[in-house]
Structure 1
Amino acid sequence: MNINTLVFSTLLALGFVNTGAYAMDVDATFKELDKDSNGLLSEAEAKMDAVLKENFAQIDTDQNGQLSLNEFRKFIQ
């Protein structure tokens, strides 16, 4: 992951990014983090972003060890 993506996803998580582009940016960020393209973020994939790494257990509301796009979106909101 490049530094721009890390900075963007951190700002997005903290709510500093324009919400007009919210849906597309969240989907694009999730897709970029989803390295194996299985539609879920593993803990290893989430570790590419400091905010996700630190909050993984809290974000993983169904406690299955992976983050769905829905869980990711709820966290970003």
Structure 2
Amino acid sequence: MNKIAALVLSTLMLAFATTSVQASSIESRFKELDRNRDGAISKSEAAQEPALWSRFSSYDQDKDGKLSLREFTNYARQ
């Protein structure tokens, strides 16, 4: 394998590993905030993280009063 191909492959592997760690970290934080373990974060649960609480409604895309993992991920990646 030439040096350029090895460098490209190494870069891609590092990017994938970083994305996986970030996703795992986001899911872990979601589980910490979801104190009643119902699979969603309510506004009262979001109060544990003031920045999330203050912008809760802007991330609650379906306006159901809670954040799904997908909605929380949108917040966490900001």
Runs of 4+ displaced beyond 3 Å: none
Higher CA-based Rg: 2
Instruction: Report how far residue 74 of structure 1 moved.
Output: 1.5
Gaps of 5+ in 1: 1-18
Instruction: Report how far residue 75 of structure 1 moved.
Output: 1.8
Normalised TM-score (structure 1): 0.72
Gaps of 5+ in 2: 1-16
Cross-structure match for 1:56: 56
Per-residue Cα deviation, 1:24-70 (whole angstroms, up to 9, x for no partner): 10000000000000100011000110111111000101111000000
Cross-structure match for 1:40: 40
Cross-structure match for 2:29: 29
| CA RMSD of superposed structures (Å) | 1.3
Residue identity in the other structure for 2:37: S
Normalised TM-score (structure 2): 0.71
Q: Which has the higher contact order (CA 8 A, sep 6+)?
A: 1
Looking at structure 2, the residues matched to 45 and 76 of structure 1 have their Cα atoms a distance apart, in angstroms, of 15
Is the CA contact 2:52–2:75 (under 8 Å) kept in the aligned structure 1?
Answer: no
